[in-house]
Each structure stands twice: as C-alpha cells, then as structure tokens.
Structure 1
Amino acid sequence: MGLLPAKGMQEQEEQKASASPEGSLREIWKWMKLTAAGLLLVVFIHQYFFHFSTVRGISMEPTLVEGEWLFINKTIRLAGMPQRGDVIVIKRNSEEERKPVFLVKRVVAVGGDEVHIRRGRLYVNGEAVSEPYTGTPIEDGGFEPYTIEEGHLFVMGDNRHRYASHDSRSFGAVPLEEVVGRAEWIIWPLDKWRRL
C-alpha cells in the first residue's frame, strides 16, 4: 500500500468529517449562523438606511398613483432637514385605527416659514409658490397665515381637489420626529421608474 500525499489525506479527513453526524451538524450550524447574520443585516439596513413602500390612496396624484412602489431614503434626518418640495413619508398615530399610519406628502414649508392659502394658491412667506406637480388649484378653501414652528414641517398632498388629501391643513405641522424618510424613486411599475 502506497502513502497518500498530505493534500489527499487532508481531503479524505474533511470528507469523513462532513459525512459524520457531527460534521453535518457543524455544516447546518454554519449555514444557520450565516442566514441569521444576513437577516440581521437586512433588518438593520431596513431600520436605518432605506426601505420600499407602496402608495395607497389618491392624495399624491398626479405625482404618485396607488400601487406604485417607492424607494425611501431613511438617512435624510442624518444628512439634514427635509427641504421644501421633498416628498416624504411620515408616521402618525391614528386614534381611529389605534395603530401608526404612514402618509406620503410633499413638504411645502419648513420651520420659520409662514403659510397662507388664498384663492386656490399656496403662499409661503408672502410669495406665491409655483407648483407644477399639482393638477388643479387648491379647492378646499383658504387657510389663514400660519407660522411653522422650528423643528416642524408643513406638508400637503399634491392632489388639490376638495377632500382629496388629509394633511397639515387638518392635523397641523409635523414634528421632524415623525419623518420616516424621503421618497427618492418610483421603482415599480418599471415603465414609471423615475426620480422624484
């Protein structure tokens, strides 16, 4: 009987080890650890960096329509405060449903700004705002001048038809703590793929 080269002996030992019950258990344990680490990484990224969200309702038409998927950047609060014109996701507590409700709205004013709605137009700091993303003048009537507190945002839906959007005109300015992230992209359906 001849001697096996060292490499051949090592391969045989590894095959025996993996064929034994202990080797199989080690292999399963290794895959379980890798899977758990992967899941933890996904949860961490989802919690602190980005996630996907589906549009529900009509409040952001014509910019967003029901069923579209959005890429939400959750690092915006680390990088700085949302700006006028940003489309953001906010998390509000609903007394009716007794659970958090996620809303997609557009930032129209930030802390220190004065908001006023007159004759279907939005005014910020006394100047009429150009809003090419809306499809109609504001039909819900006027809104007396209101100064936004620091650390808050005034948000509205792009759908300005009467009763189409539940937003800061009814629930007030939104504290920054309620901002989940900024909607950066429409990612589904593919023919609607674009940056917001």
Structure 2
Amino acid sequence: MKVWKEVWHWGSSLGIAFLLAMLIGVFVFQPTKVSGHSMDPTLRDNERVFVSKLSHTFSYEPDYNDIVILDSRVDRERTFRDDVLENGLLSLLSGKADEQIIFIKRVIGKAGDEIEFKDHKVYRNGEPLDEPYLNEPMTYTSSKKWVVPEGHVFVLGDNRNHSLDSRDIGYIPLSHVLGKKM
C-alpha cells in the first residue's frame, strides 16, 4: 500500500507540473526555435528565442517593428484548440514540432496603413521606412499598393530577398499573431 501511495504522490505532482507548463506555454510565454534565414541578420537559423504570449492572450495589437510569431495559415480560422495543440510541449509530444506553419516576422503595417514597394524600399503611408536591420538592399518592387484591413497586420522578414511573408501569404489576422519576441 505504501508503494501505491508514493506512486500516486509522484504521479499527481508530475501531472500538476505538466498542467502548469501547458498553461504557461499557452498563455504567458514559450521558447521557440528560428527555422530558416528570413530574419537574418536579426535572428539566425536555429537560434532559440522566448515568445511573450500575453499580447495574444489579451488580444493586444503589436507595434511597428515588433518581431512577432504567427500562424501562416491565414486562410483558416484559428481556435483555442490550435493554441493548446500547437503549444511547444504538446507539439513535441505529438511529433508536429517540425511543421512549417509558424513564422517569425517583423510588423511593418497596421490597420489602415498603405504599404508600397518602390525604389527598392518599403513605404508606409507615403514615407520610406528607415530599416537599419535589413540584411541587404531589397530587390523586390511592385506597383501594387497594399492597404491593411481592420484586424490585420502586414509583416515582412528582415532578409527581404529570401522571405516568405505578407507579400506572398497576405495580411495576417490579429488572431494569428501568437506572440512577440521578448
């Protein structure tokens, strides 16, 4: 009987620890690993960063230049179930940690902003952005003007010539902004 009592004690302690780790990972912060070179030189491939989940938990809009973690599947509704199942701990246990749906990008535009790409620069509301963090001069240009809709942001990688971002996947719903780099 004493052995079972000890097993129950240890099992319940581990269960509580797992539950607390899940709650912290879903609502407060979690570590994540940078995958790829789209944020060079600011963030390097395989670099580990901590993500504050508070902005997602309390639905705060990110600021310009915030580095955010986002769900790139913008064509589908995001649910609380996604937040739980894609938590770092559960994604490791489920084997889904390597899925390339989570992106790390920089916020360039917010609701109502007009974004343009000309003269190898990004313009927000007619003004060129000062972007000392860029890896190299941007080669991308376009005659298209992007107007960020309400409830969305426009994001770009710092390595503009090698980044899959809002130019490709479109505007990012605020519900898909999962947190920001701490």
> For the superposition of Structure 1 and Structure 2, which TM-score range results when normalised by the shorter chain?
0.7 to 0.9
Find runs of 4+ consecutive structure 1 residues off by over 6 angstroms: none
**Please, which moves more after superposition, 25-34 or 137-146?**
137-146
Structure 2 gaps, min length 5: 76-98
How far has the Cα of 1:146 moved from its partner? 1.6
CA contact (8 A) 1:119 1:142 kept: no
Tell me the equivalent position of 1:90. Answer: 70
Aligned residues: 158
Counterpart Cα distance in 2 of 1:100 and 1:59: 13
Cα shift readout 1:96-133 (whole Å, capped 9, x = no counterpart): xxx66111100001011110111111110111110011
How far has the Cα of 1:94 moved from its partner? 9.1
Distance 1:100 1:118, change over 3 A: same
Q: TM-score, normalised by structure 2?
A: 0.81
Larger Rg: 1
Q: Is 1:182 aligned to 2:162, yes or no?
A: no
How far has the Cα of 1:181 moved from its partner? 0.7
Identity across aligned pairs (percent)?
Answer: 32
Counterpart Cα distance in 2 of 1:91 and 1:48: 16
Tell me the equivalent position of 2:146. Answer: 146
Tell me the equivalent position of 2:27. Answer: 48
How far has the Cα of 1:24 moved from its partner? 2.4
Distance 1:105 1:130, change over 3 A: same
Tell me the equivalent position of 1:11. Answer: none
Q: Which secondary structure does the structure 2 equivalent of 1:93 belong to?
A: coil
Cα shift readout 1:152-178 (whole Å, capped 9, x = no counterpart): 0000000022xx011111111100111
Which has the higher relative contact order, 1 or 2, with Cα contacts under 8 A spaced 6 or more apart? 2
Aligned residue runs from structure 1 range 113-128, under 5 A: 113-128=113-128
Q: Pick one of 164, 167, 170 that aligns with 1:169.
A: 167
Q: TM-score, normalised by structure 1?
A: 0.76
Counterpart Cα distance in 1 of 2:72 and 2:59: 22
More strand as a share of residues: 1
CA contact (8 A) 1:120 1:142 kept: no
Counterpart Cα distance in 2 of 1:30 and 1:182: 37
Q: Which secondary structure does the structure 1 equivalent of 2:72 belong to?
A: strand
CA RMSD of aligned residues (A): 1.8
Counterpart Cα distance in 2 of 1:124 and 1:141: 14
How far has the Cα of 1:91 moved from its partner? 1.0
